[in-house]
Amino acid sequence: MLPAKELVDNFSNKKLTKLDYHINVEDFQKEAKNILPKMAYDYYASGSNDQITLKENESYFDRIKLTPRSLVDVSRVSTKINILGHQLNTPILVAPWAMQKMASKEGECDTVRACKSVGTIMTLSSLATCSVEEVAEASGNGCSPGWFQLYVFKDRKISENLVRRVEKAGYTALVLTVDTPFLGKRLADFRNGFKLPEGLALKNFIDLPLSGIDGGLNKYMATMIDSSLTWKDIDWLRSITKLPILVKGVMCPRDAELACTHKVDGIIVSNHGARQLDTSPSTIEVLPYIAQVVKGRVPVILDGGIRRGTDVIKALALGANAVMIGRPTIWGLSVGGTEGVIKVLNILNDELKLAMAFIGTNSIHDINSNVIWSKPQTSKL
Ligand X SMILES: CC(C)CC(=O)C(=O)O
Ligand Y SMILES: Cc1cc2nc3c(=O)[nH]c(=O)nc-3n(C[C@H](O)[C@H](O)[C@H](O)COP(=O)(O)O)c2cc1C
The residues that touch ligand X, with contacts defined as CB under 6 A, are: 98, 127, 183, 217, 221, 272, 275
CB 265 within 8 A of CB 84: yes
DSSP assignment letter at 314: H
CB 218 within 8 A of CB 182: yes
186 is in an annotated binding site: yes
Among 48, 49, 79, 177, binds ligand Y (CB under 6 A): 177
Rounded to the nearest 5 percent, the helix, strand and coil shares of the chain are 45, 10, 45
Specify the amino acid at residue 102.
Answer: M
Of the ranges 200-208, 219-227, 322-330, 343-351, which one interacts with ligand Y (CB under 6 A)? 322-330
Reported in sequence order, the residue ranges of the chain that DSSP labels E, i.e. its strands, are: 81-83, 86-88, 92-94, 123-124, 147-150, 173-177, 245-250, 266-269, 300-303, 322-325
DSSP 3-state assignment of 239?
helix
Long-range residue pairs from 155-160, CB within 8 A, at least 24 positions apart, any chain:
156/226, 156/236, 158/205, 158/208, 158/210, 160/240
**Residue 22, interface with ligand Y (CB under 6 A)?**
no
Among 113, 248, 308, 343, binds ligand Y (CB under 6 A): 248
Of the ranges 69-77, 154-162, 300-308, 369-377, which one interacts with ligand Y (CB under 6 A)? 300-308
Query: Residue 115 or 325: which CB sits closer to ligand Y?
Result: 325
**Residue 203, interface with ligand Y (CB under 6 A)?**
no
373 is in an annotated binding site: no
DSSP 3-state assignment of 87?
strand
Binding track over 77-96 against ligand Y, x by CB under 6 A: ------------------xx
Q: Which of 131, 126, 123, 125 is nearest to 106 (CA)?
A: 131
Query: Residue 204 or 338: which CB sits closer to ligand Y?
Result: 204
136 binds, among ligand X, ligand Y, none (CB under 5 to 8 A by kind): none
Among 166, 213, 294, 306, binds ligand Y (CB under 6 A): 306
* Active-site residue flag, 365: no
Query: Residue 98 or 166: which CB sits closer to ligand X?
Result: 98
CB 52 → ligand X: shortest distance, Å?
17
Catalytic residue positions?
A: 272
Known binding positions for glyoxylate: 43, 151, 186, 272, 275
Q: State the residues that interact with ligand Y by CB under 6 A.
A: 43-44, 57, 95-98, 125, 127, 149, 177, 248, 270, 272-273, 275, 303-306, 325-327
